[in-house]
């Protein structure tokens, strides 16, 4: 009997359901061979040869697979189609004796009874087609994965001891791409802090037509003067543009007074209908962005759910930067749309989307359902509401591609007064929903108002409202992923671990969906960015990704990449180890030590923030830092709602009177800000 090896038990069960008893199917449970955990295991003096070992936790799995493989006629490696999947397949092949390594030369693959199959969806047709057309292991993809793995190991294992020396904390660690992502967050915080908010006013009128239609119109200008203008400022990661008017308080009062005795006439009416097309299908990046924006899912949670949907055979492979959809799927989905919604809702022609990413080469399709007629409600019964929501997001986006454009009617009205003030108002109405039928359209009009050029209008009211220019927003997970992708940093499989790692190391805190750098994160980032400016520049990190892509395409080797990188890096590292500067990460507080009366300091451990006496080591008083909110517990009405964490560091909110009161919730109501002014003694 042939042996098929996949990564996970869920994937193995789906294969078994599809193929029956024709094959023996085993799961490797992910990587089985890797660099050991507690030492470098890379020959830095010669050819960067890695010292791989079988992971201790996987020894029993490896023994089981090896025993079954001895009896198998053919061994079929069916791991994922990206670089990580190819590397897992490679290491399994090595353990089973099908690979002879000859570092730094390419390994020799013995293909006598070894097959490698790839597919982008776990369906019967895709699997059987893959079994009919196996290929050899792609050693270039494996080399690219090794290149990233070795590069990150060198940076992490070399920089971390430097941070220990400079900060006196042996639990600190540094990452190549994670530090650049952290820098985006830290630099944004600096830009917010130095941003000077300025007041300005907008003036708005309420007008009435002769047939009693009331609408609002904003005041845009006076004679040749335009009130609202755009301002751009250069940020670390690009340009931030915002709009403000030139109207200040006194001018606003003058405009109000002028308009109260003025007359209003419609001078121009621009009415047209335009087509609104559906957005492209999801890539890994855009799925994570939308799940973050619409459902507040973290990138890590989104990828975990998507992995399960893929392994269950519900969606295509979820690590992709392609916006292509298979022609067969489009044909089947268009037929489904005609049957479900009617002929007029089906797109008359197939849509094609240009890929904005310069990376798209690890997968052939965007993320889509394997079958258009698989409904979200069916899924919820077997997996749960979170899976249903994400699947519905993916399904609706994919169905929309095969649906007709929405038709939107637009009406722009320009108004002038006798005193030469200029105003405008705009209306939109959906006259045919098209693909928007899949989405809830709240308060969307289906009819435009009737307003003609030359109409005289009556003023009902005029008001002015004070506004303030807003600093660039802090990153949410979705917007950070978008920024990383736009700069060519990271790849589909790396976005989620990049963000979860910065949060897990206490370098970043997530509050109300936004990412804030901690004092520790800022200190680490500022030090590394100053001392290793090239390594943590956007262009250098993006260029390194391009070089890894070159390795995957056989244009470069891992040894060549590491040779160019390591010399300058090691020289800077050696210089920094010789300097005697020390970075003390602490913050003064207004609290006094109850033991000796000296000020308490806010410090960091690997478990998070805590208070410690500034008189240490003479006074060793400490107490834990507890972040609270401005809410009282709704259950006991006595305790404060405080921020807590699960064993896996997932944030939730609970009552400070626990265990007397067991109130807990994952999410606070909007607008309930957390504060940092309370603590509890150990």
Q: Please, which pLDDT band fits residue 549 given cuts at 50, 70 and 90? A: very high
Question: Do 356 and 252 reside in the same domain of the chain?
Answer: no
Question: Do 327 and 395 reside in the same domain of the chain?
Answer: yes
Facing residues of 217 across strands? 205
Question: Do 62 and 36 reside in the same domain of the chain?
Answer: yes
Check pLDDT > 90 for residue 648.
Answer: no
Check pLDDT > 80 for residue 93.
Answer: yes
CA gap 94, 103 in Å, rounded: 14
Q: Please, which pLDDT band fits residue 380 given cuts at 50, 70 and 90? A: confident
Check pLDDT > 80 for residue 381.
Answer: no
CA gap 612, 623 in Å, rounded: 7
Assess if residue 99 is contained within a domain.
Answer: yes
- Say what the pLDDT of residue 666 is: 84
- How many other CB atoms are there within 10 angstroms of residue 672's CB atom? 13
- Burial class from Cβ neighbours inside 10 Å (0-12, 13-18, 19+) for residue 452 reads exposed
Last residue of a domain, one of 578, 603, 636: 578
Containing structural domain, residue 601: 587-681
Question: Do 413 and 540 reside in the same domain of the chain?
Answer: no
Check pLDDT > 80 for residue 134.
Answer: yes
- Say what the pLDDT of residue 606 is: 77
Question: Do 62 and 184 reside in the same domain of the chain?
Answer: no
CA gap 181, 497 in Å, rounded: 11
- DSSP sequence for 75-89: EEE---SSHHHHHHH
- DSSP sequence for 384-403: -HHHHHHHHHHHHHHHHHTB
Radius of gyration, CA atoms only, the chain: 30
Closest to 314 in 3D by CA, of 379, 404, 261, 409: 379
Check pLDDT > 50 for residue 678.
Answer: no
- Please indicate, yes or no, whether the overall pTM of this predicted structure exceeds 0.95: no
> What does the pLDDT average to over 224-233?
96
Q: Tens digit of pLDDT for each residue in 259-288?
A: 999 999 999 999 999 999 999 999 999 999
Q: Average pLDDT over the chain, rounded to whole? A: 91
Q: Tens digit of pLDDT for each residue in 573-592?
A: 999 999 988 888 888 888 89
Assess if residue 66 is contained within a domain.
Answer: yes
Give the CATH number for residue 228: 2.70.20.10
- Burial class from Cβ neighbours inside 10 Å (0-12, 13-18, 19+) for residue 319 reads buried
- Say what the pLDDT of residue 675 is: 46
317 is catalytic: yes
- Would you state the structure tokens that stand for residue 335, as one six-digit string? 């037929």
Contact criterion met (CB below 8 Å) for 287 and 319: no
In degrees, rounded to 5, the angle at the alpha carbon of residue 384 between the alpha carbons of residues 380 and 388 is 55
Last residue of a domain, one of 369, 401, 433: 401
CA gap 422, 412 in Å, rounded: 13
Question: Do 600 and 561 reside in the same domain of the chain?
Answer: no
Cα dihedral value 95, 96, 101, 107, nearest 10: -120
Q: Tens digit of pLDDT for each residue in 414-451?
A: 999 999 999 999 999 999 999 999 987 665 777 899 99
From 157, 317, 391, 435, the catalytic residue: 317
Q: In percent, how much of the chain has pLDDT > 70? A: 95
- Say what the pLDDT of residue 504 is: 87
Q: Tens digit of pLDDT for each residue in 156-173?
A: 999 999 999 998 888 888
Check pLDDT > 50 for residue 552.
Answer: yes
Question: Do 524 and 461 reside in the same domain of the chain?
Answer: no
- Say what the pLDDT of residue 669 is: 57
> What does the pLDDT average to over 542-558?
94
Contact criterion met (CB below 8 Å) for 507 and 525: yes
CA gap 211, 449 in Å, rounded: 11
- Say what the pLDDT of residue 401 is: 96
- Say what the pLDDT of residue 359 is: 45
Contact criterion met (CB below 8 Å) for 306 and 287: yes
- Would you state the structure tokens that stand for residue 323, as one six-digit string? 């916006």
CA gap 638, 640 in Å, rounded: 7
Question: Do 448 and 304 reside in the same domain of the chain?
Answer: no
Question: Do 215 and 320 reside in the same domain of the chain?
Answer: no
Check pLDDT > 70 for residue 76.
Answer: yes
Last residue of a domain, one of 401, 420, 450: 401
- Say what the pLDDT of residue 360 is: 44
Contacts of 302 (CB under 8 A, 6+ apart): 287, 288, 291, 292, 390, 496
- Would you state the structure tokens that stand for residue 443, as one six-digit string? 């308060």
Assess if residue 462 is contained within a domain.
Answer: yes
In degrees, rounded to 5, the angle at the alpha carbon of residue 302 between the alpha carbons of residues 301 and 303 is 90
Contact criterion met (CB below 8 Å) for 356 and 340: no
Question: Do 538 and 610 reside in the same domain of the chain?
Answer: no
Q: What are phi and psi of 617, to 5 degrees?
A: -90, 0
- Say what the pLDDT of residue 442 is: 64
> What does the pLDDT average to over 223-246?
95
Alpha helix stretches (DSSP H) within 221-326: 249-260, 284-295, 299-311
CA gap 196, 244 in Å, rounded: 13
- Say what the pLDDT of residue 677 is: 37
H/E run at residue 185: helix 176-194
Q: Please, which pLDDT band fits residue 681 given cuts at 50, 70 and 90? A: very low
What's the half-sphere exposure (Cβ side, CA atoms, 13 Å) at 617?
0
Question: Do 547 and 482 reside in the same domain of the chain?
Answer: yes
CA gap 280, 322 in Å, rounded: 10
Facing residues of 605 across strands? 608
CA gap 421, 414 in Å, rounded: 11
Residue with tokens 């950070």: 480
Question: Do 562 and 598 reside in the same domain of the chain?
Answer: no
Contact criterion met (CB below 8 Å) for 281 and 350: no
Assess if residue 143 is contained within a domain.
Answer: no
Q: What are phi and psi of 42, to 5 degrees?
A: -135, 130
- How many other CB atoms are there within 10 angstroms of residue 479's CB atom? 18
Alpha helix stretches (DSSP H) within 366-490: 376-382, 385-401, 477-486
> What does the pLDDT average to over 601-613?
86
Facing residues of 468 across strands? 199
> What does the pLDDT average to over 6-13?
95
Q: Please, which pLDDT band fits residue 645 given cuts at 50, 70 and 90? A: confident
H/E run at residue 572: helix 558-578
CA gap 43, 260 in Å, rounded: 81
Report the interhelical angle of 176-194 vs 538-552 (nearest 10°): 150
Assess if residue 142 is contained within a domain.
Answer: no
Q: How many domains does the chain have?
A: 5
CA gap 13, 11 in Å, rounded: 5
- How many other CB atoms are there within 10 angstroms of residue 549's CB atom? 18
């Amino acid at each position: 009997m042939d042996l098929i090896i996949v990564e996970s038990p869920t994937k193995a069960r789906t294969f078994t359901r599809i193929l029956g008893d024709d094959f023996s199917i085993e799961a490797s449970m992910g990587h089985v061979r890797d660099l050991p955990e507690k030492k470098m295991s890379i020959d830095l003096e010669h050819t960067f040869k890695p010292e791989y070992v079988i992971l201790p936790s996987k020894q029993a799995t490896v023994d089981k697979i090896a025993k079954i493989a001895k009896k198998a006629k053919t061994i079929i490696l069916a791991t994922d189609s990206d670089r990580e999947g190819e590397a897992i397949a490679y290491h399994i092949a090595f353990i089973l004796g099908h690979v002879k390594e000859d570092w730094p030369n390419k390994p020799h693959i013995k293909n006598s009874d070894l097959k490698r199959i790839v597919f982008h969806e776990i369906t019967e047709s895709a699997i059987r087609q893959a079994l009919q057309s196996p290929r050899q292991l792609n050693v270039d993809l494996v080399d690219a994965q090794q290149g990233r793995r070795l590069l990150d190991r060198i940076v992490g294992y070399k920089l971390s001891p430097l941070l220990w020396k400079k900060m006196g904390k042996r639990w600190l660690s540094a990452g190549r791409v994670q530090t650049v992502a952290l820098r985006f967050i830290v630099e944004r915080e600096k830009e917010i802090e130095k941003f000077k908010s300025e007041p300005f006013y907008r003036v708005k009128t309420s007008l009435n037509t002769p047939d009693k239609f009331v609408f609002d119109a904003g005041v845009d200008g006076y004679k040749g003067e335009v009130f609202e203008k755009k301002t751009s400022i250069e940020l670390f990661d690009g340009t931030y543009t915002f709009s403000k008017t030139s109207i200040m308080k006194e001018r606003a009062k003058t405009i109000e007074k002028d308009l109260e005795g003025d007359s209003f006439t419609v001078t121009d009416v621009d009415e047209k209908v335009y087509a609104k097309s559906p957005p492209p299908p999801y890539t890994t990046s855009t799925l994570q962005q939308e799940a973050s924006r619409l459902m507040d899912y973290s990138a890590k949670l989104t990828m975990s759910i998507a992995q399960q949907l893929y392994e269950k055979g519900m969606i295509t492979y979820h690590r992709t930067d392609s916006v292509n959809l298979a022609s067969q799927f489009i044909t089947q989905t268009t037929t489904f749309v005609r049957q479900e919604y009617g002929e007029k809702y089906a797109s008359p022609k197939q849509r094609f989307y240009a890929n904005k990413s310069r990376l798209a080469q690890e997968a052939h399709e965007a993320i889509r359902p394997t079958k258009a007629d698989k409904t979200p409600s069916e899924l919820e019964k077997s997996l749960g509401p979170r899976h249903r929501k994400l699947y519905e997001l993916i399904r609706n986006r994919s169905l929309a591609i095969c649906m007709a454009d929405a038709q939107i009617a637009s009406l722009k009205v320009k108004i002038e007064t006798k005193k030469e003030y200029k105003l405008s108002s705009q209306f939109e109405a959906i006259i045919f929903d098209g693909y928007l039928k899949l989405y809830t359209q709240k308060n969307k009009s289906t009819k435009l108002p009737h307003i003609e050029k030359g109409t005289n209008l009556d003023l009902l009211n005029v008001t002015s409202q004070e506004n303030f220019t807003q600093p660039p927003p802090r990153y949410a997970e979705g917007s950070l992923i978008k920024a990383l992708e736009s700069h060519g940093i990271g790849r589909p499989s790396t976005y989620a671990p990049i963000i979860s790692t910065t949060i897990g190391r206490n370098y970043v805190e997530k509050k109300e969906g936004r990412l804030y750098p901690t004092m520790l994160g800022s200190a680490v980032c500022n030090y590394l960015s100053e001392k290793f400016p090239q390594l943590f520049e956007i262009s250098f990190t993006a260029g390194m990704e391009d070089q890894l892509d070159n390795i995957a395409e056989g244009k470069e080797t891992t040894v060549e990449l590491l040779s160019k990188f390591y010399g300058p890096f090691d020289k800077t590292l050696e210089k920094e180890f010789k300097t005697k500067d020390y970075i003390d990460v602490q913050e003064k507080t207004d609290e006094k030590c109850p033991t000796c009366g000296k000020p308490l300091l806010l410090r960091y451990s690997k478990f998070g923030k805590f208070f410690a006496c500034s008189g240490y080591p003479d006074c060793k008083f400490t107490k834990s830092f507890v972040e609270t909110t401005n809410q009282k517990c709704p259950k006991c009405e006595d305790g404060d709602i405080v921020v807590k964490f699960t064993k896996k560091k997932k944030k939730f909110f609970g009552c400070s009177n626990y265990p007397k009161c067991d109130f807990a919730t994952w999410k606070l109501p909007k607008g309930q800000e957390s504060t940092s002014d309370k603590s509890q003694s150990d």
